[in-house]
Amino acid sequence: MALLSVFDVADVVAVDSPAGPTFSSDGIVVGIDAGLRGCGVAMLYNGELLSAQYVESTELSVRGPQAWLAMANAVATTLQGTKVDVLCIETMQAYPKSNQAQLVNVMELQGVVGCIVAKVPAQQVVGVQARIWTKGASKPERHTLLETDLRSRDKGEWERIKWPVKALAHNVLDAVGIARFRFSNSHT
């Protein structure tokens, strides 16, 4: 299922049109919160959320390159036919106090990131670490801020999100946050 299920690029309307949301030509920014079994994927056009959803991998049991590629293929299929101007994806970071299991998970996720970057054509690819795009905010704090922001917009952005089960919703919110971070930092 294509991510542009709500608005197709051909449906982007002119400024002040009563037909719906208005966009300029800044291009499409896709934010991705990478995971081994699923990713949050959000798409902005001129800073406005077109759509966001959780994309599940087809490989739910193994780890390593087979799982990374399956996840990347699922994301690429979701974005198929979309001209991605900027792909902004969260990159992983190992902390000095990380234990062995945490380091293995970080390497797995970075494998997914590399495969997504290879599979999704984009004019520009930007990697951003969580500590940068979140500005140090805790997960509950940033999710509350993102939800409040999305609900307060009069452009219907909240309704453009295809929500997964509650336990996975944070992935979608993070993808929106990553895309918004990229958009706001490229227009300041």
**Least-confidence region, from 18-22, 42-46, 109-113, 130-134:** 18-22
Give the whole-angstrom CA distance, residue 142 versus residue 131.
12
* Better-scored residue on pLDDT, 187 or 120: 120
pLDDT, average across residues 47-70: 95
Q: What is the pLDDT of residue 5?
A: 36
| Cα–Cα nearest to 34, from 103, 101, 92, 100 | 92
Q: What is the pLDDT of residue 7?
A: 33
136: DSSP letter: T
pLDDT-derived band of residue 26, with 50, 70 and 90 as boundaries? low
Q: Structural domain boundaries of the chain? A: 3-186
Say how many Å lie between the first and final Cα of the chain, rounded.
34
| Helix runs in 120-168, H state only | 130-133, 139-152
**Least-confidence region, from 18-27, 36-45, 95-104, 175-184:** 18-27
- The domain covering 3-186 belongs, at the CATH homologous superfamily level, to Ribonuclease H-like superfamily/Ribonuclease H (3.30.420.10)
pLDDT, average across residues 9-21: 32
pLDDT tops 90 at residue 50: yes
Tens digits of per-residue pLDDT, 90-100?
A: 998 877 787 88
